[in-house]
Amino acid sequence: MAGGQERILRRRIKSVQATKKITKAMELIAASRIVKAMGRINDARPYFVSMSSVIEQFASSAGLPKSKYLGDPKVGARGLLVVTSDRGLCGSFNSAPLRFVERKLLSAKGAGEQYRILCVGKKGINFFGYRNIDLDLALLGVSERPTYEHARTVAKAVLDLFDSGAVTSVDIVTTRFYSAGSQKMEVIPLLPIDPATLVASGGGDSSLSFEVEPAPEEIIDPLMALFIEEKIFAYLLEASASEYAYKQRAMKSATENAEELVKKYTRIMNRARQDAITTEIMEIVGGAEALRSSDSEALDVD
């Protein structure tokens, strides 16, 4: 019956509208969280800038002493640190880095290269778990609000792996946050540190001769380790902000799709109702017609 179809459509519209309300709310929440996450990035910036300039001053005045963390990557197993989120509904935020790593692992199999994977975020951990890929680090609960403690844990795992000689280089696969409108998945080398990048900006002043206490050879390793820690922290913060940006976009398009659906269903529903009414009128008219003709027939007989 046509009336039945109308009822079904009415119910569906209601459910789409309810979903739309949820996605709209999630969009707004994500938008407000981007602002907060951006604030955290800004708060962390002075430290990072200062640290970079300290290292630069150090490098340009004393010359960098030898460190296990400095130099060109040697041949050997490589480490990949993958940053994903704990929750879904954020578009390609997780799928892009995970697909990248999967492709990398596939091609490595052919080339006989070895990879060790470190993973942050539930989505990535599940992804690798499902594929039976062993993880050297599986850290949850970071993406919502990364703290320095998280960065320290991640950095420790990365440095331990590097120190033990299990890997000779570590790259990070993460999403960089450039602005609220622009984020990009990138692969950035973490270890070993290329000494050229430390003095790249040329802001160091070789005329200053620093007193270094304790000796430069003693200070360099902890300083480099701290630098890595700080870098990881910066990337985690950016990834968190990016996640919200992706989420906002995903929820925005979901809201728009819901609107589209409501429009479409309403149109179909209206047509169905119209059809039902038309049919009813036709039936009534037909019925009346039939009655009248049968009446007149009866009269004729009379």
Partner 1 sequence: MAPSFQVHLLTPERPLYEGQGTSVSLRSGEGDIAFLANHAPFIGTVDICVVKIERDGEPTLYAAVHGGFVSVARNEVRVLADVAELANEIDLERAKAALAKAEAAGSHTNDSVLEASLRRAHVRISVSSTLAHSTYVA
Q: For partner 1, which residue of 19, 92, 147, 257 counts as binding (CB under 8 A)?
A: 147
The minimum distance between CB 46 and partner 1, in angstroms, equals 5
Q: For partner 1, which residue of 202, 209, 299, 302 counts as binding (CB under 8 A)?
A: 209
The minimum distance between CB 178 and partner 1, in angstroms, equals 21
The minimum distance between CB 60 and partner 1, in angstroms, equals 11
Contact characters 221-240, partner 1, x per CB under 8 A: -xx--x--xx--x-------
Q: Which stretch binds partner 1 (CB under 8 A): 23-31, 38-46, 120-128, 175-183?
A: 38-46
Check binding of 148 to partner 1 (CB under 8 A): yes
Closest CA to 234 of 187, 162, 177: 177
Q: For partner 1, which residue of 3, 7, 35, 47 counts as binding (CB under 8 A)?
A: 47
Check binding of 50 to partner 1 (CB under 8 A): yes
Catalytic pick from 30, 81, 90, 158? 90
DSSP code for 70: B
Amino acid at the residue 7: R
> Residues 26, 31, 36, 42: is their CA dihedral positive or negative?
positive
Look up tokens 């003693």; give the residue: 218
Classify each residue of 205-243 as buried b or exposed e, where b means 16 or more C-beta atoms within 10 Å of its C-beta: eeeeeeeeeeebeebbbebbbebbbbbbbbbbbbbbbbb
Long-range CB pairs of 147-152, under 8 A, 24+ apart, other chains included: 148/233, 150/120, 150/233, 150/236, 151/229, 151/230, 151/232, 151/233, 151/236, 152/229
> For residues 124 and 216, which CB has a smaller minimum distance to partner 1 in the complex?
216
Q: What are the two backbone dihedrals, phi and then psi, of residue 171, each rounded to the nearest 5 degrees? A: -110, 150
> Cβ distance 171 to 190 under 8 Å?
yes
Check binding of 210 to partner 1 (CB under 8 A): yes
Q: Which stretch binds partner 1 (CB under 8 A): 25-33, 163-171, 220-228, 281-289?
A: 220-228
Check binding of 212 to partner 1 (CB under 8 A): yes
Check binding of 214 to partner 1 (CB under 8 A): yes
DSSP letters spanning 83-120: E--SS--STTTTHHHHHHHHHHHHHHHHHT--EEEEEE
Does residue 119 carry a catalytic annotation?
no
The minimum distance between CB 223 and partner 1, in angstroms, equals 7
| # binding residues, partner 1 (CB under 8 A) | 31
Residues 42, 37: Cα–Cα separation, whole Å: 9
Active site residues: 90
Q: Which residues bind partner 1 (CB under 8 A)?
A: 40, 43-44, 46-48, 50-51, 53-54, 57-58, 61, 147-148, 151, 205, 208-214, 219, 222-223, 226, 229-230, 233
